Structure 1
């Protein structure tokens, strides 16, 4: 049975991905700051901590076997005008998003390359494509993921490993506070389908890339309800 490691698996998009893959036959290891429910192995770690991620990956291999797929959905979000982004806020955003992906790849990818097979899906954001007012540090971190995905995909595809990204639009998860402007009726009226995307809809795209999209290499698929067309 194929093993997948999902970061951010305790809630939101990561939680939906973990549930969807589990229901479709994957053995799921969930990595988050809080234990994920309904997975074969629940691990707690901060993805921005390389040592903690390495220890978690060792536990997955010991408990479940080789990792066939990696989905990085751990997230951190805040809206700030660019003039108010402190060095600490800037670096935390990069550590969680770009650093989290790097930390996972550094310990998962070598084994995939040795085995000659594997798949990586990194969750980025449509803000990395279209930008957003008050989202400069978030968009920069998510945009860096796209650059990494496209470059890495070219490098490792000849060795049997596929790397792709999913760039969701505003999605109904706990990362969006109740007073978030993305939940405002005036904003939603500008969205072609007039609502936030559901986490299970993003999970369906991730599942497609892992289960069926063998022809997808270096793709950035953006299920965003028409926010960016």
Structure 2
């Protein structure tokens, strides 16, 4: 049996690293794309996902050395709390280039092969903020909202060819992306959540793995493992 290859961006830490571990535990061979080494991945490539040329070249190399990418999971990103009037134009651009651009660049690289083979799964990591909004996070929220629009449009385009495109929209997740002084870690906020706690990255990975392996009926769906932040 040939190896099943899963590509994960943002694989060095947080949700991306959890995705790598979950898929590896299910028998997938994982290729991690990140600016820093992805230690848990079977193969790690240093890539800025906002750069389409880097992404395209890296995925061609991965498929040449490891085999066709059957699942692509896009978790690369960054986060900042900044009032909208203080967000520099360069910060708007970087947020959009990494989150939306990173997903688009990966999809443009893997989709043709998936369509040719008549199968494949793509899962993008967006955010519950893209659904419910947030304060002093307009650039992040806008970028994640754009990912949802792209996922739903691409899902409709690729579904007839047997390629499923979906997303997960986690709430505040217990990763290094949230510093110790983050407002999302304050007891006063956690008490507002039905679950009373942050989402674990492993829980997000479970939702994403479900979309990859089991949810063959899901097309353009947004699963929200968010501890009840958005109901």
TM-score bracket for this pair, using the shorter chain length: over 0.9
Partner of 1:104: 106
Q: Aligned Cα RMSD in Å?
A: 0.7
| Equivalent in the alignment of 1:133 | 135
Deviations 1:169-221 (A, max 9, x none): 00001111111100111111111111111000000001101110000100011
Indicate which of 216, 222, 229 corresponds to 2:218. 216
Q: Matched residues in 1 for 2:154 and 2:33: separation?
A: 23
Q: 1:225 aligns with which of 217, 224, 227?
A: 227
After TM superposition, the runs of 4+ consecutive aligned structure 1 residues lying more than 4 A away are none
2:156 equivalent among 134, 154, 157: 154
Question: Structure 2 regions of 5+ residues with no counterpart?
Answer: none
Q: 2:165 and 2:216 mapped to 1: Cα distance?
A: 10
Instruction: Choose the corresponding residue for 1:8, options 7, 10, 23.
Output: 10
Alignment map for 1:69-88 (pairs within 5 Å): 69-88=71-90
Asked whether the 8 Å contact 2:103–2:124 carries over to 1, the reply is: yes
- Structure 2: distance between partners of 1:4 and 1:211: 11
- Specify the SS of the correspondent of 2:6: strand
For residues 152 and 51 of structure 1, the distance between their equivalents in structure 2, rounded to whole angstroms, comes to: 21
Q: Could you say which residue in structure 1 is the equivalent of 2:173? A: 171
1: CA distance between counterparts of 2:64 and 2:117?
17
What is the SS of the residue equivalent to 1:31? strand
Q: TM-score, normalised by structure 2?
A: 0.98
The runs of 5 or more residues in structure 1 that have no matched partner are: none
**Pairwise CA distance, 1:38:** 2.4
CA distance in 1, matches of 2:41, 2:88: 37
Show CA shifts across 1:84-115 (max 9, x none).
11100100000000000111111111111111
**Deviating more after overlay: 162-171 vs 52-61:** 52-61
Q: Quick one: which of 102, 117, 120 aligns to 1:118?
A: 120
Q: Size of the alignment, in residue pairs?
A: 229
Structure 1 equivalent of residue 204 of structure 2: 202
